[in-house]
């Protein structure tokens, strides 16, 4: 059910509701809590996905039986833990991170969460590291949460290397509310949306900043 306000973009949530929802549906154990708090602790940008978005990643991996997954944008490893915990037995995640410090923090968090054996953190510029992963494909899912101007190129890579039925997931699809502005970043994000529709069955899930979900045709 929806009313005219909710269809127009009003969201019936406030911090108290969101805190309760997170506690019920996306609670943190010690490993997740450490990874989520790491950006503040390690003087890194606190730009990781929220608990509900992270839980959604886990469930989407489980729903699709994902075994081979790529993430672009590791940060402190919070979303990587969420993805890894949804992989099918024997599955593996390759997560690409530009910053060496972030990669080191992520590796420690992955080990603390008990998923280090399922995740490889690959350091370097994403387009270079993605090229190095191609022999592991085709992939079951690709999750983008990195520099927004790079999304069109990352999306094209995903198009080439996802199996039929594989998932493309991209955070910040609303570009922090700036999607329709006349800026290079906004133009890149709109191009990513438009190109995705050409190769995927898509929807933009109305998370706080939008999560594009596409199924490879």
pLDDT tens, position by position, 56-67 = 999 999 999 999
Q: Give the separation between CA 217 and CA 205, rounded to whole angstroms.
A: 19
Q: In the prediction, which pLDDT does 2 show? A: 72
Question: CB atoms < 10 A from the CB of 105, how many?
Answer: 23
Topology of the domain covering 13-216: Rossmann fold (3.40.50)
Output b/e per residue, 111-127; b: 16+ Cβ within 10 A: ebbebbebbbbbbeebe
Phi and psi, residue 23, nearest 5° = -65, -35
Q: Give the separation between CA 106 and CA 78, rounded to whole angstroms.
A: 8
Q: In the prediction, which pLDDT does 13 show? A: 82
Question: 92 falls in which pLDDT band (50, 70, 90)?
Answer: very high
Whether the pLDDT of residue 1 is over 70: the answer is no
Question: 200 falls in which pLDDT band (50, 70, 90)?
Answer: very high
Per-residue pLDDT, averaged over 186-202, amounts to 97
pLDDT above 90: percentage of residues in the chain: 91
- Distances in Å between the Cα of 57 and the Cα atoms of 7, 8, 85, 177, 203 are 25, 26, 9, 22, 15
Per-residue pLDDT, averaged over 26-38, amounts to 96
Plot region of 207 (φ>0 → left; ψ -120 to 50 → alpha; else → beta): beta
Average pLDDT value for the chain: 95
Q: In the prediction, which pLDDT does 5 show? A: 74
Per-residue pLDDT, averaged over 18-27, amounts to 94
Whether the pLDDT of residue 81 is over 80: the answer is yes
């Amino acid at each position: 059910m929806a009313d005219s306000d909710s269809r127009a973009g009003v969201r019936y949530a406030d911090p108290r509701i969101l805190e309760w929802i997170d506690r019920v549906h996306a609670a943190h154990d010690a490993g997740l809590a450490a990874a989520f708090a790491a950006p503040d602790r390690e003087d890194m940008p606190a730009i990781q996905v929220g608990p509900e978005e992270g839980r959604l990643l886990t469930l989407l991996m489980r729903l699709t039986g994902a075994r081979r997954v790529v993430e672009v944008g590791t940060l402190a490893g919070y979303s990587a833990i969420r993805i890894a915990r949804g992989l099918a037995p024997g599955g593996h995640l390759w997560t690409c991170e530009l910053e060496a410090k972030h990669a080191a923090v992520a590796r420690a968090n992955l080990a603390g969460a008990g998923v280090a054996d399922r995740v490889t953190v690959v350091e370097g510029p994403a387009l270079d590291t993605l090229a190095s992963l191609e022999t592991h494909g085709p992939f079951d899912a690709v999750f983008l949460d990195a520099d927004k101007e790079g999304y069109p190129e990352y999306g094209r890579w995903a198009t080439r290397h996802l199996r039929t039925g594989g998932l493309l997931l991209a955070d910040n699809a609303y570009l922090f509310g700036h999607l329709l502005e006349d800026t290079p970043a906004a133009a890149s994000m709109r191009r990513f949306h438009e190109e995705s529709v050409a190769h995927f069955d898509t929807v933009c899930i109305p998370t706080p900043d939008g999560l594009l979900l596409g199924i490879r045709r």
